[in-house]
Every structure is written in C-alpha cells, then in structure tokens.
Amino acid sequence: MKHTLSVTVQDKPGALTRITTMFARRGFNIESLAVGPTERPGVSCITLRVDCAQHSLEQIEKQIHKLVDVLRVTELVSGEAVERELMLVKVAVPPERRAELVTTAEALGGRLLDVGTDGVVLELVATPEELDAFHELCRPYGVADLVRTGRVGVPRASARRRAPTRLAAIN
C-alpha cells in the first residue's frame, strides 16, 4: 500500500542524505520525494511517497524519527490531507491540434507556458492521480519531455486531528 510521509528536518548538510541512506540500507523504496523550505526558517520539509505494508511503515517512521536532524514525522493520510504535485510536459503536438490540447489542459486547470515550432510546454498543478490522467491524455499527441516534482501535502485545515499512531502511543 502507498503512504505519504511528511518529514520536517533541520536544514543541516546531509539531512536528506541521512534519510535516503536509511531507506536504502533497510531495503525500503522511495517512490517520490520532494524537498523544500517551510514557514520556519532553518526548517525544511521532505515529503516521501513509499509503497510498503503497514508493518514496514511503522518501522520506517520509527527509524526516521531516530535521525538527529529530524524534527517530526507525520503520515499524510489520504482524505485527511491536501496533496498536490506540479508537472511540466512538453508535447510535440502539430500546430493544427494545439488549440484542442491547450483547451483540454486549461479545462483541468493547466497552463500553456511556452510555444515552439516543435510543440508546446504545459504546466499542471493537481493531485498526483489527476496528473497521471493528464499524462494519459497528452500521450496520443506525442509527449517529448515530462517532469514531475513529486507530491507535497499538508493536513487539511478542516480535518479532525487523527487518533495518535501506535508510535505515539508507545512513546
């Protein structure tokens, strides 16, 4: 099962490496990873997407928690968190079909960023699942280049606080 972990860390050299090294060493796979600053100076947030069983997830959370630079580990549970991802896609679409593609993109909240002789560059910010769908839509037009940032998320403002996890219970 897939899980999203939000890890806040002190912005120290090697903080990210320590987390990825721990994943590699203990045989856990990272599906996507996004890093950036937070509202607190000197504190970054690492959002990790992992595919693992519940038992492994608890182990991962506990192992991350032990790292000295890590301030907090939270699981972003789907439905209780807002998750978004940015995708940039260059589509080698011939001029006569561009209008159709751009309209579709805009209908989904996408934007046209660049137009060239060989194609267009589109931007879309959406849930990772919506990005998957948009990627499929673009495919018939000829996707020349595609990059995604990896998902980021925050707990919903409207969400009730989750019951403490097992980790919290034994701490």
Partner 1 sequence: MTGGDAILRALEAEGVEVMFGIPGGAIMPTYDAMARGTTVRHVLARHEQGAGHMAQGYARASGKVGVAIATSGPGATNLVTPIADAWMDSTPLVCITGQVRSTLIGTDAFQECDITGITMPIVKHSWLVQDARELPSVLRAAFHVARTGRCGPVLVDVPRDVQEAVVDVTFPAELDLPGWRPPTKVHPLQIREAGRAVANARKPILYVGGGTLNGDACDELLELAEAGSLPVVTTLMGKGAFPEDHELHFGWPGMHGPKWSNLAINTCDVLVAVGARFDDRVTGKLSAFAPGATVVHLDVDAAEISKLRDADIPVVGALATAVGELAREVAGHREDGAAPPTAWLEQIREWREEFPLRYERDAEWLKPQTVLETLQRLTADDDVIVTTGVGQHQMWAMQYVRSVRPRSFITSGGLGTMGYGIPAAVGAKAARPEATVVCIDGDGCFQMTAQELATAAIEDLPIVVVLVNNGYLGMVTQWQDMFYDGRRSHVDLRGGVPDYAKLAEAYGGVGMVVTDEAELETALAEALRLERTVVIDCRVAPAEQCYPMIPSGAAALDMIEYVDTLEVKEAKAS
Q: Which stretch binds partner 1 (CB under 8 A): 17-25, 109-117, 118-126, 137-145?
A: 17-25
CB 67 within 8 A of CB 18: yes
* The one among 11, 16, 18, 133 contacting partner 1 by CB under 8 A: 18
Nearer to partner 1, 59 or 127 (CB): 59
Find the binding residues for partner 1 in span 103-132 (CB under 8 A): none
x/- binding map, residues 148-167, to partner 1, per CB under 8 A? Answer: -------------------x
- The end-to-end CA distance of the chain, in Å, is 25
* The one among 39, 41, 55, 158 contacting partner 1 by CB under 8 A: 55
x/- binding map, residues 63-102, to partner 1, per CB under 8 A? Answer: x-xxxxxxx-------------------------------
Residues at the contact surface with partner 1, assessed by CB under 8 A? 9-10, 13-14, 17-18, 21-22, 24-25, 55, 58-59, 62-63, 65-71, 167, 169-171
